[in-house]
A = this chain, B = another copy of it.
Amino acid sequence: MTDSTRSRVKTAAAKRQRLMAAAAQVVHRQGAERTTIADIAHAADVPVGNVYYYFKTKDELVAAALAEHARQLEILTGRLEALADPRERLKSLVESWVSQRDLAARYGCPTGTLAAELDKRDDGGLDVEAGRVIRLLIDWAERQFRELGQPDPEGLALTLVSAYQGMSLLANALRDPSIMTRQGARLLDWLDSLPEAPAV
């Protein structure tokens, strides 16, 4: 590979990455259906017609947005692993949700709203892909509850993520960020109330 080739590849990869990030952001704000290729191209500062060189269809761009959300989630959980106590990891997760309250009140949870939208389709497997991204979060939470020695860690993980999706949707529908703060506080109390090693 020559230098010029490498530089061209690097530019192409960078453009592709810019398009992925732009797709994630614009789709979060406008929804997949209302977002046009031109919207994403403009946000990524890439010529409109050129987008098809990187993504053959619009659905591929939506899939890219999902992958970008999955990447962001992995970055977040990766940071949380630095904490020694799984309970602290979970509480820190809740706190990061609350810190995003203004964004959630305006556009909802990026993955949750996208999953809901894609589930209205009968074609393609994009809806299944969205479910997989949400599963990543549930599975991570389940591992934390298991480490805490909780019975039914999957049920607890489901409850936690369900609470997050619910409070995001309500904060969004009622345009009220304080819902995130108030319900987040309830979740923190709940996590604190769980016994360290419950009787079996």
Contact = CB atoms under 8 A, between A and B. Distances in A.
Interface of A: 29-31, 33-34, 106-108, 112-113, 115-117, 119-121, 127-128, 130-131, 134-135, 138, 155, 158-159, 161-167, 169-170, 172-175, 179, 182-183, 186
Which 9 A-B pairs give the minimum distances between C-beta atoms? Answer: A166-B166, A162-B166, A31-B120, A33-B33, A115-B173, A165-B166, A165-B169, A131-B173, A162-B167
Contact of A116 (B33, B108, B159, B175): B108
Contact of A163 (B120, B155, B162, B182): B162
A40 B165 CA distance: 30
Given A33-B34, A186-B155, A116 B172 contact: yes
Contacts of A173: 112, 115-116, 119, 127, 130-131, 134
13 contacts: A33-B33, A108-B116, A112-B169, A115-B172, A119-B172, A127-B173, A131-B175, A138-B170, A162-B163, A163-B166, A165-B165, A165-B170, A166-B166
Given A29-B120, A117-B117, A163-B163, 7 more contacts: A34-B120, A108-B116, A131-B175, A159-B183, A162-B163, A165-B165, A169-B169
A166 B159 CA distance: 9
A198 to B, nearest CB: 16
Given A107-B120, A116-B108, A173-B112, A179 B158 contact: yes
Given A162-B163, A175-B131, A113 B108 contact: no
Nearest to A113: B116
A43 to B, nearest CB: 15
Interface centre among A107, A117, A120, A138 (most CB of B within 10 A): A120
A188 B75 CA distance: 36
